[in-house]
Amino acid sequence: MYPENITLIKFGYFDQEILDRVVPDISREFSTSVRTKNGNLDLSEFYDPSRRQYNGTTLLNKINNEFATDSSKTLGLFDIDLFIPILTYIFGQAYLNGRVGIVSIYRLSNEKYGIKTDHKILLERFRKEAIHELGHLFGLIHCSDPVCVMRSSTYVEDIDQKGHALCAVCRMQLKHTLFA
Amino acid sequence: MARKISILIVDDEESVRDSLYNWFIEDGYRVGCAEDAKRALSILESDAFDIILADIKMLGMDGLEMLRRIKSIRKESIVIMMTAFATVDTAVQALKDGAYDYVTKPFDPDDLSHLIRNASKQISLAEENEILREAFLLQNVENLVGSSDAMRQVLKEIESVAQSSASVIITGESGTGKELVARAIHSNSSRRFFPLVSVHCGALTESLLESELFGHEKGAFTGAVFNRKGRFEMADSGTIFLDEIATIPPKMQVELLRVLETKSFVRVGGNKEITSDFRVICATNRDLKSLVENGFFREDLYYRLNVVNIHIPPLRERIEDIPQLVDYFIRKYCTTMNKPLITIDSGAMRQLSAFSFPGNIRELENMIERAIVVGNGRKITLKDLPLGKETINTTVESLDELEKNHISNILNKYNWNISAAAKALKVDRVTLYNKIKKYDLSQK
C-alpha cells in the first residue's frame, strides 16, 4: 500500500540545515511527500555506560511504539553513537518492510576520524544513509550494484563509494512495492 | 538466479538474536533463530541451514557440544562460534571440532560482513563444484549409448555407485558393454586420477593369474628375471576390474577373498606384505548365484564382491536403442576409417531392429563395421548386413554346443528325415544317429 508520506523526526541536537537539504532528495527518490518534526525522548535510558554508546535496538523499538503511524514511514534522526548488542557500531537501522528506522550522523563526520571537517561530505553521507534506511522500510534489501544507495556500507569510506540514488533494479522493485 | 543463503542464529540473549536477525534480513539472507542448542538441533532436523552462528556459552547444552552434534549430522554445515569471553583454549577447541571460524562479541560490522560473505562464497563454490561434477559425469558416459528406460536405469546406477568405494558386480550377457560400465564407474569416482587396471581372468591359467594379480619377486620361477608388480599393486588408489570373475579357480578364490578383506598380499616368491588401496569391480556373464549354490563359487567371496549389482540388459530387451547405436557406430567407424559419413536405409534399419542379436552390442558393432568396409560408401543396405547368414551366436562357448545346435536346426529343417539331414550335414546316417544320442536330441 502506498504510504501517505515519509516522516523525519529529529531527536536531540541535529543540524536543521542538513535536514532541510536532504528533504527534497528523499521526496524525489521515493516519489512522496516528506515532513519533518522534532521528537522528545530521554536518550539517557538508551545509554550503555560500559560501551559509552546508545543502544540502537531498544531505541528503534521505542520509536516504533511511540512515534510510528501505519500511514507513514518514520525515520528517527540522531547525532549519537549507536550500537546494537552484537556489533561495535551502526550508522543506522530499520525494520525491513516496517514502519520505523533510525540514522545517526555521529559517525559520518570526518572529524570523528581525525580528518578535517567537510560539511559537504557529511551532507552526502547523511543523504545516502537516510535514503538507504528508508529503502529498507520500503522492503529493499542490500544491493550488489556498487553505486546503488542500497549497497551495504560497513565503514564510513564505504559510504563515499556508492551513489545517493537507487539503481534501476531497486527502483523497479520499489515501484512494484509502492504500486502493487 | 542464485538461491538465498540461510543463516541460523543460536544465542540465549534475545537482543543478540534480534540484532543479528535484522542485520542479516537486510542483507537478503533467509534467517532463523533459536534460543538454545536444543531448539537449534530440533530446527536443523527439518531445515538444513547453510550457516549456523552460535554462541558458545548458553544454558543447558553449550555451543561446543552443539557444534559436535551438528558436525556429526551434517559435516558440510558452516558453524561460526561467537563468544563474549574469548580464550585461546576454547577457540582452538572450536576450530578442532570443525567450526568455520570463531569471533568475539561484539564484532565490527565490516568483519561480520566479510565473515558471512566468505562463508557464502564457500557454499556457492561447493554447489558449483557439485554442478560441475554432475556435468562431468554426463560427459564421460557417451560411449554408453541409448535412451531406453533400461539404459537410463544403468546410468542412474553408475551415478549413484561411482562416488562410493563399494565393490560392484556387473552382470549381463556377452557383448552388452560390461567393461564400458566399469570404466564409467571408475572415471566418475574420486579414484579417476589413479589407474583402472583390468584383468581378464578367463584368459589366464591359475599360475599365471596368481602372478598377474599379486606380482612376483625376481627368481620366483623360471624366467622371472626381474621383480614384477601385480595388478592389485598397480591399482593402488585406483580400481581393479576383474572380468569373467566366474572363471577364477577355487584356490584363487580363497586368495582373492583374503586380499579383499585385508587389502594386503605377498608377491609370488616373496615374503614382504604389500598393501594397496583399490576398489574392485567384477563382471560376469554367468549366474554367480547359481554357481554359488552348486559349489563352483565361494559364497563368502560372492557376498564380498556383490555389494552392488548392476545388470545390463541384452540388446533384444532394449531394441529402441538400436537406431542410436547404429548412428554411433557409423560415426565411429567412418571417422576411424577416414570415410565420409554414410547413412542406413530404412529397410536395413527395420531388419536390424527385428534381429535378436545374441552377440548383443558387440555383434551390432561388428555388423556396422563390416557394412562400412564392404558397402558402396553411400548407404548401408540390407545386402551389406549379414543378418541370418553369418551370424554367430556368441553366447555359445563350446564346439559341442555349437554342433548340437547346428544338428538340431538341420534335423528340424528336414522334418527329422535322417537321410536328408545326414546328406545335408555330409555325414553318414550312423554318425548322425550317434550324434543324436550323444546330444540327447528328440523331435518336438
pLDDT tens for chain B, 444 residues: list them.
467 899 999 999 998 898 899 889 988 899 999 999 999 999 998 888 999 999 988 888 888 999 999 988 788 889 999 988 767 788 888 888 899 998 888 888 888 888 998 898 888 888 877 777 665 555 567 778 888 888 889 998 998 898 888 999 999 999 999 999 998 898 888 787 778 888 888 877 877 888 888 888 877 777 666 777 888 988 888 899 999 999 998 888 998 999 999 999 998 888 888 999 999 999 999 989 889 998 999 999 999 999 999 999 999 888 899 999 999 999 888 887 878 888 898 888 888 888 888 889 999 999 998 888 887 778 888 888 887 654 444 555 677 888 888 888 888 878 888 888 888 888 888 888 888 888 888 876
Judged by CB atoms closer than 8 Å, whether chains meet at A85 and B15 is answered as: yes
Give which of B19, B30, B31 to mutate to test A binding, by max A Cβ within 10 Å.
B19
Q: Give the residue from B307, B306, B305, B313 showing the smallest Cα distance to B172.
A: B313
What is the grid cell recorded at B406?
547346428
CA distance A55 to chain B (A): 10
Determine whether B89 is exposed, middle or buried from the number of CB atoms within 10 Å of its CB (0-12, 13-18, 19+). exposed
B131: distance to nearest CA of chain A, Å?
Answer: 24
Write out the residues of chain A at the interface with chain B, using a CB-CB cutoff of 8 A: 57-58, 83-90, 93-96, 136, 141-142, 152, 154-155, 158
Neighbours of B135 (CB within 10 A): 9
Residue of A nearest to B18 (CA): A57
How many angstroms away from the CA of B60 is the closest CA of chain A?
22
At residue B392, the pLDDT reads: 47
pLDDT of residue B86: 64
- Give the active site residues of A: 133
User: For residue A7, what pLDDT band results from cuts at 50, 70 and 90?
Assistant: very high
Is the predicted ipTM greater than 0.90, yes or no? no
In the A/B pair of chains, how many CB contacts fall below 8 A? 63
Q: What is the largest CA-CA distance in chain A?
A: 47
Residue B302 in grid coordinates: 560372492
Out of A32-41, A111-120, B33-42, pick the least confident: A111-120
Burial of residue A56 (CB within 10 Å: 0-12, 13-18, 19+) is: buried
Disruptive mutation site among B4, B13, B22, B111 for chain A (greatest number of A CBs within 10 Å) = B22
Q: Do B28 and A142 touch (CB under 8 A)?
A: yes
Q: At what angle do helices B322-336 and B346-354 cross, to 10 degrees?
A: 120
| Residue, of B383 and A121, whose pLDDT is higher | A121
pLDDT greater at residue B187 or residue A22: A22
Q: How confident is the model at residue A3 (pLDDT cuts 50, 70, 90)?
A: low
At residue A180, the pLDDT reads 66
Q: What is the pLDDT of residue A53?
A: 95
Residues of A in contact with B113 (CB under 8 A): 152, 154
Distance CA A127, CA A23 (A): 9
Give the separation between CA B427 and CA B310, rounded to whole angstroms. 46
Residues of A in contact with B18 (CB under 8 A): 57
